[in-house]
Amino acid sequence: MSLMSDIEILEAIKKGELRIEPFDRANLGPDSVDIRLGKEMLLAKNVGKTLDPLKRNEANYFEKVSLKEGEPFMLGHHQFVLANTMESIGLDSSIAAQIEGRSSIGRFGIVVHMTAGIIHAGFGSKAPSTLTLEVYSVNPNPVLLHPGMKIAQLSFFRLGTKAQEGYDSKKGSKYVGQQMPEPPKAYLD
């Protein structure tokens, strides 16, 4: 498995092995693609009780927030949101991706993924899907998040052999076809 260069990323897009919709070549780096913040968020609320990942939490512990063009979201200190990306991604079962925050955003104390950094081979293969970012602020000051701003980057890896079963085809995959951020589904494990 090796990190794909800009040339390999463009070849994979041309062959249909990698789909990024919409794709803006200006977002292509030497070995990654910048992705932008979408307009849909789920804001974690303090519901005053302990949440159990192994149980379906019926309590509404997220508040849906839809951003409008030109209207940023103010992320406060120690605030957590799930946010979608503007781009939808589709990976062939021979390509996986890694999401990382951009240095320019990290320098504001913004974390864009808490733990879920791998996008599995075959994700979005049935239909390109948005990614869900796990955004958290450690900055002691509020930070404005603007829809459409470059917030993260994707690096792509070509697997040594194609996966036998890609993410979208694998039974039990919980986030197939997502277009909005979805709350956790660990209770389905």
Catalytic-residue membership of 100:
no
- Single out the catalytic residue among 40, 71, 134, 165: 134
Contacts 24+ apart (CB under 8 A), 175-180: 175/129, 175/132, 176/126, 176/129, 177/126, 177/127, 177/129, 178/84, 178/129, 178/130, 178/132, 179/84, 179/88, 179/129, 179/130, 180/40, 180/84, 180/130
Paired with 111 in beta bridges are 136
DSSP assignments along 117-164, one per residue: -EE-TTTTSSS-EEEEEEEEE--SS-EEE-TT-EEEEEEEEE-SS--S
**String of b and e for 54-66 (b: at least 16 CB within 10 Å)?**
eeebeeebbeeee
Residues noted as catalytic: 134
